Amino acid sequence: MRLYALLEENAKTQLPDMEITGLTDDSRKVQPGMLFVCIRGERFDGHSVAAQVLEQGAAAVLVDHDMGLGARQIITNDTRALYGKLCAAWFDHPERKMHFIGVTGTNGKTTITNLIKHILTENGHIVGLVGTIQNEIGNRVVHTDNTTPFVYDLMRLYSDMAKAGCDYVVMEVSSFGLVQQRIGETHFDVAVFTNLTQDHLDYHGTMENYYQAKKLLFSRCDHAVIDVDDSYGKRLYTEITCHKISYGNHDNADYYADAIKLHADGTSFWLCCGDKSYPVDLHLTGMFNVSNALAAVAACQAIGMPLGKIRKALESCTGVRGRCEVIPIDRDFTVLCDYAHTPDAIENILSSVKEYTKGRLICLFGCGGNRDAAKRPKMAKAAAKYADFLMITSDNPRDEEPKAIIADILTGLEGSDVPYEVVVDRKEAILRTMQMAQPGDVIVLAGKGHEDYQILKGGVHIHMDEREIVKECLPLVPKR
């Protein structure tokens, strides 16, 4: 801690030529004067090259055990944790200059964070957003590669937000970001838990590990907003000690919805809290978006915002890119684009859309390669539960063969009588699906959502925007 106090106090005066960095691979060139932070990653351990970087001119190495490197090694119990403190100090602690609202869970994070940002912005706040689709500093869009950026990049982003006058930051907090301590020592005024369903088990191994990763967020917040309809949410509610606020579909929750009516272009319901009820007309459709709206309302009330102002702002929000997004077409059927890429998300979107579909509900989906293969047949079962026709195709195959991924998916359709077709090429699958659509049908393109790329072998990214593909297909889909 003496080292941290010294660096925190003098980071920019005593160390003007030092680059604080945590190499997780050996691809970056070592710069003279660098303070090298040795971090144990999933595939690479920075300690393995500590001696080498000193030979190449690094000023010192930060390690978690004595490596016999003399005066140029600095030993700490947890290099990840200290690296986060160093990064925060380097940028003059921007995490202390703003208020933070974090959202974690398997599904709903993007919609909830966007709803909260919209509500705050409509009520005069300058808001930063850290999320899956993009980062935002007020109205300025900043590219992102990760839902939760690595800690140096995150602190730099915080710094830019603080300089731009942001007083609030709304943030999607991933399980990866929590386990890998990417958020440093960020403290949250409010933390939201949406749900926990199977995802990322290729990384976490078990659902218990996944849950414990998400739970880490609630050791660093003042108020917890929790979906108590979810079994893990109920458990979390009993295990944490901060101030707790519940939301759900039943009147035993602090915030719940009643008299819900779903429409193709929105949802109406009564917002109930305490002994009072208020009408809400939402421009988002689906039961899951009612839940998302409740979370956003509860989070904004937790920071002291009046409910009347929250409702007015909520009703002016027109939606989120790639989340139950209607793609405009001049045809007698509907095409929706949604990021659903887990069994639970597939079931949520299809069950909601089914309620207002006049014709057939057609679902096009695939599964990502190099990811949890166990969820592939489960996604098929979830889709078959509500869809009238399935188009099985490719998603982001990465280093796996698309046909092998599809074979895993099809095992989930054994014994099902739902008709399906397999078209490996996603562009061809979209065209085929649109050509078979009949009046009143609704097509749900699931899995890509906001993404405008496809990831192939070797990490190669190719451009693929489903909005553009649908537009390109229209000349080949005759009007009836």
pLDDT in tens, the chain (480 residues): 334 434 444 444 333 344 455 544 444 567 777 888 888 877 788 898 889 889 988 888 899 999 999 999 999 999 989 989 989 998 999 999 999 999 999 889 999 999 999 999 999 999 999 988 889 999 999 988 777 888 989 999 999 999 999 999 999 998 888 988 889 999 999 999 999 987 766 666 798 998 999 999 999 999 999 999 999 999 999 999 999 999 998 889 999 999 999 887 789 999 999 899 999 999 888 888 999 999 999 999 999 999 999 999 999 998 888 888 889 899 999 999 999 999 988 998 999 899 889 999 999 999 999 988 999 999 999 999 999 999 999 999 999 999 999 999 999 999 999 999 999 999 999 999 999 999 999 999 999 998 999 999 999 999 999 999 999 999 999 887
The phi-psi region of residue 33 (left if phi > 0; otherwise alpha if psi is between -120 and 50; otherwise beta) is: left
Burial 421-449, CB ≥16 within 10 A → b, else e: ebbbebbebbbbbbebbeeebbbbbbbbb
Query: Residue 13 has what pLDDT?
Result: 36
- State the alpha helices, DSSP H only, in 164-247: 175-179, 201-204, 207-215, 231-239
Q: 425 vs 137, 329, 395, 396, 420, CA distance in Å?
A: 37, 22, 9, 11, 15
> pTM here?
0.80
Residues 6+ apart with CB under 8 A from 317: 114, 115, 118, 119, 282, 283, 284
- The span from the CA of 428 to the CA of 442, in Å, is 18
Name the token pair of 190. 């409010």
CB atoms under 10 Å from CB of 174, counted, come to 22
Query: Residue 201 has what pLDDT?
Result: 67
Instruction: Name the amino acid, one letter, at 178.
Output: L
SS3 assignment, position 404? helix
Query: Residue 222 has what pLDDT?
Result: 98
Query: Residue 3 has what pLDDT?
Result: 43
Closest CA relative to residue 405, chosen from 447, 369, 448: 369
SS3 assignment, position 455? strand
Instruction: Name the amino acid, one letter, at 373.
Output: A
- The span from the CA of 388 to the CA of 395, in Å, is 21
